[in-house]
Amino acid sequence: MAKEKLDLKGLSDQDLKEKISAEKLRLKKMTFGHAITPIENPMSIRAVRRDIARMNTELRRRELGF
């Protein structure tokens, strides 16, 4: 199972914010869906949560100017 690497540095700040909000919505739907009917791979919830954290980290890095 190969992991897809996120290319966050090529995105603008606005695109990154939109991607974060879309991923948060996706995470919420996955979590609710998993509560009703268990999904096949529950580790995908963790992967989405970590991707959101990576995007937030990149956004914060840009705000600080690093």
> In terms of residue numbers, what domain contains 36?
24-64
Residue 35 in domain:
yes
Please report, in tens digits, the pLDDT of each residue of the chain (66 residues total). 345 677 888 899 999 999 999 999 999 999 999 999 999 999 999 999 999 999 999 999 999 998
Residue 17 in domain:
no
Residue 3 in domain:
no
pTM > 0.75: yes or no:
yes
Q: What is the pLDDT of residue 2?
A: 40
Residue 41 in domain:
yes
Residue 52 in domain:
yes
Q: What is the pLDDT of residue 15?
A: 95
Residue 37 in domain:
yes
In angstroms, the CA 11 to CA 18 distance is: 10
Using alpha carbons only, give the angle 61, 63, 65 rounded to the nearest 5 degrees: 70
Residue 43 in domain:
yes
Residue 1 in domain:
no
Structural domains counted in the chain: 1
